[in-house]
Amino acid sequence: MEFRTLGRTGLEISRLGVGLSEIGDLTVNEVEQVSQVLNGALDRGINFLDTSACYGNSEELIGRTVAHRREEFVLATKCGHLVAGERGREWTAETVTRSIERSLRRLNTDVLDLVQLHSCDVEVLEQGEVIEALLAARAAGKTRFVGYSGDNEAALWAVESGHFDTLQTSFNLVDQQARTRLFPKVEAGNMGLIIKRPIANGAWGAARSPSAYAAPYFKRAQAMLERGPIPGAPDNRILLALGFALAHETVDTAIVGTQNPTHMQANLDWVEHELPIAAEVVAALHERFDAVGQAWVQLR
């Protein structure tokens, strides 16, 4: 497994990380399945786990299955939204502070490595209340570093503000706006860069949209493929997508989620044995996107 330094945090993380949103859809009684996914990933060298307070049972399942291996991985979560059954308002200092305390309990840890504001808009960021709460949590030793997770104008504001150690943002072969609008500023600020949705929900090369959630990506893929297949591209469309995301030096880690232990192991095999993809393929995907996707915004 290849590792990178996550910007100015100094944290050494695996280039393939685990996104835990899908795990959150499982019940607390499905601990064994989650254990196979997460312990299997850790056994193969993945050391970056990314979850959120609003990902269902995700945090609790992480705490139940891999807390005993806490020193082996970097743990990131997100805050700001209300979770099921919670009262109050989103995007207040109280909600952020309460969310962090709850995450510590559910994840069964004394300190979080990274807490990220979860896709709030520019107006919330400009008000500053949630940023102050996040920085207070860092000062209190509840998290080592702070980040922002989001896209488009809010992501740009977060990067330019200087408040955050990391940015998590959408980037894949049909969603490339970050390449020109965010990556240079992330590098200039020595921020860590975490990529979400790197496989574009499996939409590239699919006969039909894999899900309603993936429909916008499917339409973009169709537009980019109107000129025919990409010469030299791998036949495996998921491998192609992963290879594209990880071909960019600014990217520290790309997070991929699954509930299936076999799928997790397949992802690891591809990253360890089938990458990198050819530079000519990456360049062709850049060219295709630049030709048809200049007006496409990042998808959340």
The string of pLDDT tens digits covering residues 243-285 is 999 999 999 999 999 999 999 999 999 999 999 999 999 999 9
pLDDT reading at 189 higher than 90: yes
Whole-prediction pTM value?
Answer: 0.96
Identify the domain containing residue 93 by its residue range.
12-200+251-277
Residue 213 included in any domain: no
Q: Where are the beta strands (DSSP E) in 15-73?
A: 16-19, 48-50
By CB atoms closer than 10 A (0-12, 13-18, 19+), residue 233 is buried
3-state helix, strand, coil in the chain (%, to 5): 45, 15, 40
pLDDT reading at 178 higher than 90: yes
What is the per-residue pLDDT for 88? 84
- C-beta separation of 200 from 241 below 8 A: yes
Rounded distance between C-alpha atoms, residue 4 and residue 251, angstroms: 9
* SS3 state at 287: helix
Domain count within the chain: 1
pLDDT reading at 61 higher than 90: yes
In this prediction, residues 156-168 reach a mean pLDDT of: 98
Residue 80 included in any domain: yes
∠ Cα 44 114 118 (to 5°): 110
Residue 235 included in any domain: no
Residue 107 included in any domain: yes
What is the per-residue pLDDT for 82? 87
Residue 286 included in any domain: no
Residue 112's pLDDT band (cuts 50, 70, 90): very high
Residue 226 included in any domain: no
For residue 285, give the nearest of 249, 205, 231 by alpha carbon.
Answer: 231
Token pair of 197 as six digits: 């949705």
CATH number at residue 25: 3.20.20.100
Residue 109 included in any domain: yes
Whether a cis peptide bond, with omega within 30° of 0, leads into 216 is no
Residue 288 included in any domain: no
Q: Phi/psi of residue 256, each to 5°? A: -125, 135
